[in-house]
Every structure is written in C-alpha cells, then in structure tokens.
Chain A
C-alpha cells in the first residue's frame, strides 16, 4: 500500500485499543451528558463513513447525502407509525430506502454523465426535492413531522438507558469501519480507487465505471439510511428539515473531509474532533455558530494543505497517495 502502512500486527493493536477505549468510555464517563456526547460522536462517525464510502473511496463528491439519511429516518418512522410493524423492521426498511434513493439518484445522474461539482450540486437538489415532498405529503405528517410514542423497551427499539443506545451505535460504527477496511482491500475497493483517480483510465482498464459507481452509491445510501433509522429511534421525532436539511449533508462531508476522505479512520477522527470543538465552544460561550466557524476554517485549511485530512498528521511519512495528489 504505502510506505507508512503499519504491519498487520500494529494494525490489529490499533483497532483493538480503539475498541477498548470505546467500550470503557460510557463506564468511565457515565453521566448522561457524556454518554450522549459519545453517541453523537459515533453517530457522526457512522454517517460520515457512509459519505466517505462514496465521497472518499470512490471520489463522488455529494452535497446531498441527507437524501439517504432522511429516506431512512422516514422509512423507520413510517413502518411503525403507519403500517404498525415492529420498529426493528425499520432497520432493514431504512437500509432499503436509503439504498434505493442512492441507486435512483446514481442511475439518473451517472447515466447523464454528471461528474465532480455537477454531481455534488444535483445531489443537493434531489435532497431538496425530498425535503419539499416530505413537507407536503400526508404519509410523512407534512411539516409537523412524526412524533413516535414513547414505549420504552428493547422490543420497541427504545432503550431506557442512553448507554444501550451507545453500544448499539458503537456496533454500527464498528461495522462501518470494518466495511471501510474491507473496501481498502477488496477488488471492488480497488476499482473504486481507480475511478476516483482517473475515470477514463479506469474505463480503459475495462472497469464498468457506471455499474461500480451505482453500486457504491447504493451501499453508501443504505448505510446512511441505517443512520437515519437510528436517529429516529434516538430522538423519537423526525421532521422535513431535520431529515433533509442541508446542514446534516454538510456535517457528513465535514467530518469525513476533515478527518481524511478516503481513509478508514478519517470520519471517526473528524467526528471526535468536531464533538470536542462543539462542546468546548459551548463551554466557552453561549453565542451560536462558533464551532461551525471553526469547521469552515478547518475545511479550507484541509483542502489547501492536507488533502488527505488530519489522518496525515498521524502518519510517520507522507503516503504515496499524498505525494501523487500534491504533484497535481
């Protein structure tokens, strides 16, 4: 891979110690405030990873990932509120809804040959269409949103303790990181990297670029949809601007870009950092907006100076990929 790639043993040591830290965190910091912070950090690492899989690994920049998130969030709410099914059915339903929306947007956009900035902008427009639809049709409850009645109990996917949500979110995040690790090593991941670096060259190598891009958008959409389902169950409320608001698309992009797009741990690093910034800003001042000001500056600096994100700071030597990118 690259010069600084850790040996297999070092890598497992890293995964293991991170997991250990994550496992003991809610016991060491057991206040409901701290656990909630942990849940949110993991949640953003998870949806950030879903963005990273298409935006980072495959290089398909999206400004509208919230389309998949919202589709999943509403799918989860609809199966239990409108169809009377178990909230747990919401989990696969959300994955299917997110994957479906991802697939439809991908087929339409890639069929039309949209790339780069144009793809980013059209995803934004699709998310906006979904927001307006959710605001207008009956099944989503329109602008009022959907309030899910509180029925605490594991059978209802509602845990009385935040710590239980924490462990569920940890499980999901570990799964998303495992998926990213697999992508790094699999043939599919290699094809995506080829597409990211040079689409024409990838085509010349015989890669079915259209198919691979649609596949990765379905995968990313399904993952993001699961994030939406979790969000619905955690807050028991969803409305059009929460589900399809642009701010969440931007946050997914930010955690992934700032941590390191196209890297396995980038979204986690980004989301932990942003959680820390968020809470420090809140501790320092009651003025809104400070933490996002910092993110905005960070984004500009990262694009300008660390194209691989903060992950680069943890590497001993600049990776081969960073060199190739810097040379352009």
Chain B
C-alpha cells in the first residue's frame, strides 16, 4: 500500500484522537473523583453539540467562539445535574448510578428527538473546507484546530487540577474522601464541581467537533463507546492515560477504516475495550487497585 495513504490515515487518526481525549478526560475525571460511571456522557455531548449548532444558526456565533458560552453553560448543567439528580443517588451499589445515568441519557436523547427531530445536521462556516499541507498530505484545517485546541484544553485542565486550590481539593477527595472531609473540605461541593467540570469538557469538545462532525439525537451513542474505550485503555481516572488512550483509539479507528473497510473497521474500538477489560482491567497506566 502506498506509504502516503498510511501517513494520511495516521495523521487523521491522531487528529481525531485529540478530540476523543478531551471527551474522555471529563469521563475519567468524574470516575476518578466520584467513582461513578457516567453513562449520560455521550448524550450530554450531543446536547452540547446541538447548543453549538443553534448558537451558529440562530445567533451567528462562530463554533470556536461559542467555547466561551458552551463551557460555562455545560458546567452549570453538570453542577445542577449532580446537585439535583446524581448526587442524591450516588451512594449505594455502583450499578444504581449506572442505571440512573442510563435513565438520564434515555431522557436527554429523546427530549432531543422530540424537539430537534431525528435528522443529522451539519454546520457550514467559511473555513470548513480549508486544507493545510502537512508533510506529504493535505489535512483539513478544522481538524487541526480541533486537535490543537483539544490538547491545549486538556493540558489546561491538568494544570487546574494540579495547581489551583480547587484542583488540590479535587485530588484530595479523589484520593481519600474521609480524610478530605476531616481536613475541612466540603466533599459534596467538590463532587458537584468535579461533575460540573467533567461536563464542561463536553461543552468544549462540542465546539471543536461541530465543524468536523454532524449532530443528531443519537450522536451520543457514537461517542459513548469511544469515550469508555479511551478511559479503560488509559486506566480509569488517569489523565495521561486518557491522552495516550485517545490517540490510540483515534489511530485504531483510522487504520481500521483503511485496512478493514468502512463497516468492519469500526470493530477495533469495541475489541480494544473488551480485550483491555478482560486482560488488563487497570488499563495501560492505571495503578493496581
């Protein structure tokens, strides 16, 4: 096979992987801090993508500019969801919270279907078809922007978690809830903030995805398996893991499509998910529990 095709697939896969990393970083943060599996992650991403779509079509806000609206909006949504729904049931069996978030995702997906109908929507902005020469191949400009912005946002999130007071509290709660409570951290507030931040990453991801993807009420289902795969691959709760996991999943998808064809090519992600859970459930980087 022509080397340049392989090169192009590799570049495309890596670029896609950047956005996957951002989507998964919210999921892994929520898991790392709250120890819950947020099955509503995909449907909340879909909701945010509709937000970006309507900001552009109704108010003319550029998708990248809508970051400053979508990130706080999704943060507030996540915070409220935790306070009024998820937080109330977060104790008890872990399956219960999985079912609660499943119920939420069914709800969100079908509300979207009721109000926005089932059609797939794409946006059009002037730069959407712009291409840039990268090495031997042409690459779509929005994909490059998405990748760079996604990695920058992940790094920013990492810095917030590492250096700010809120970040330190979040890490303290993730490590040891009881101890955090004993030193005076309001654990429930940190849970709500962490869930809010986890959902805010989806607001950012939606802005970066809309120029290169489509949205329909079932778009969340496309991303839920991808996000879970990235997270288990990197190790639940690990940021560095999410980055490597995101890139591996992006490459898998891209090469899968290249070598196995459009339909069979999608099998790679689910297979990775299964194999990691069966053979190395702590992921590539997760600590042994």
Q: Which residues of A contact B (CB under 8 A)?
A: 61, 63, 108-109, 111-114, 116-118, 120-122, 124-126, 128-129, 132-133, 135-136, 142-143, 246, 250, 253-254, 257, 287-290, 292-293, 295-300, 303-304, 328
Interface majority SS (helix, strand, loop, mixed), chain A: helix
B95 CB-CB contact with A under 8 Å: yes
Docked pose: A228 CA to B111 CA in angstroms: 29
Chain A residues whose C-beta falls within 8 Å of the C-beta of B7 in the assembled complex:
none
For A123, the closest partner residue in chain B by CB is B274
B274 touches A292 (CB 8 A): no
Binding site for A on B (CB under 8 A): 37, 85, 88-89, 92-96, 98-100, 102-114, 117-118, 217, 221, 225, 228, 261, 263-264, 266-267, 270-271, 273-274, 277-279, 281
Beta-carbon nearest neighbor of B280 in chain A: A112
> CA of A304 to CA of B263 in the docked complex: distance in angstroms?
40
Residue among B37, B263, B271, B279 with most chain A CB within 10 A: B263
Q: List 6 A-B pairs, Cβ < 8 Å.
A: A121-B37, A133-B267, A288-B118, A298-B103, A304-B100, A328-B93
Name the residue on B nearest A307 (C-beta): B96
Residues of chain B within 8 A of A298, CB atoms compared: 103
**B113/A136 in contact, CB under 8 A:** no
Assuming A112-B278, A136-B263, A303-B89, what are 19 further A-B pairs, CB within 8 angstroms?
Answer: A61-B95, A61-B99, A111-B278, A112-B277, A113-B281, A116-B95, A117-B94, A125-B225, A132-B263, A132-B270, A254-B106, A289-B114, A292-B109, A292-B110, A293-B107, A295-B106, A296-B110, A304-B89, A304-B100
Give chain B residues whose Cβ lies under 8 Å from the Cβ of A132: 263-264, 266-267, 270
Inter-chain CA distance A143–B261, complex, in Å, is: 13
7 pairs of A and B residues whose beta carbons are closest in the complex: A296-B107, A289-B113, A296-B106, A299-B103, A289-B110, A136-B264, A292-B110
Other-chain residue from A129, A246, A253 in contact with B274 (beta carbon distance below 8 A): A129
The answer on a CB contact under 8 Å between B277 and A129 is no
| Complex Cα spacing A211 to B263, Å | 36
